[in-house]
Structure 1
Amino acid sequence: MDGWWHESFHIFAIENLAGNTFDIEKLKQVLDAKQQGYQKTTNVINYLASHHRHRLLAEASFRTLHPQAAFKRAKWGAVLLVTAVKKPMMWMGEEFGHSTRQTPNQPNKLLWSLFENQPNHDLLAYYKHVILLREKVPPLYTQNIGFFPYNAATKVFAYYRWSDEVTLAAVVANFSDIYLSGNCIPNFPAGAWHELMYNKILEVA
């Protein structure tokens, strides 16, 4: 086979993004398919939505969230998608928050009028940013991934990617709804870090 869908990415990512659970082991499997026994992840295709799955904001667990929280977590889903090991697949409409549910054998036309809403417009801008990040940060092209010690109480989860040139990229995620000030990540590498975006995707030369 030339490639395969990483179905667990879709399932486990949504469970954690929606706030239904905070499962570190499942998050690791979301980000690194090797944790599920794949010997090679060259052609693993990660996705949040597809032609036979509801888009993120149409998922039942997201429809119960306050809209502001749902869009915030949708942005974090985009970060997971582009920083996971191997290929991200973005289903049309996901990038601007299309939220109508899929019906078997029925068309599901994109609602371009959603661009008139600020949250949808902001989500599209965010997706453009993370796509550019994927293009510009070399470690995201590799199969290398490691995980920092986590704090189950605060629901902070952090991981890092690296390239052969020893360039590091780190991602720090707060899966809670509580703002954390002064939170410390154990064993975080020292260096001249540059913050590339609000969600704490960082790169060090």
Structure 2
Amino acid sequence: MANVDILIVEDETPIREMLRMVLRQAGFEVQEAPDTCQASRQLSQKRPDLILLDWMLTGQSGIDWARRLRRDADFSDLPIILLTARGEEEDKIAGLDCADDYVTKPFSPRELIARINAVLRRFGKGEKPGILHIGGITLNPEEHQVKIDRRPVNLSPTEYRLLEFFLTHPDKVYSRTQLLDRVWGREAYIEERTVDVHIRRLRKILAEFGRDAMIQTVRGFGYRFTAQL
């Protein structure tokens, strides 16, 4: 990906080398740091387009550094993807409070690149998404068109963005606050209950095609979209 620079912060040399190879093969420019101290020095010299950050690092942890960056006016809007071996939903929710996405180890290079491009698109960079097909739902970003079982579906702009986000982030739990950040934008001043309203509307539309169960309520956490019904 020409002119897109990614900073890898990973303390395990073999993993860092693997990430460097995968990213360069995908066309990204790459910076590297083994810890948050060196990563901070590199940030002061050159701002990357995205940080690929290991959760557990020697010294300061990746998640603590991500929280610090979110409080820094110069870097609060810098996209961050956490790499983590933690699979519990509590950990995932905690990670998404300070990062834009997370990838659970072990992961495939294809999944990683797809996640990176999805985050970059939200920030106005990255490749344009192709046509999405999940569970009988087809979303064509270029035509801004949605079909279910090959039948056209009319969605409001917000419902479209919400469905597109779910289709590109299946089987993950997102809190209402996280959905507001990722669908409405961090600068939007909207109450959390607005998310519930649009979830209900989207479910009602999906129910017409027997797909409303694809949006699951995870009590105490938020919502998950899944095609595994």
Name the TM-score, length of structure 2 as normaliser: 0.27
Higher RCO (CA-CA < 8 Å; seq separation 6+): 1
Identify the structure with the greater strand proportion: 2
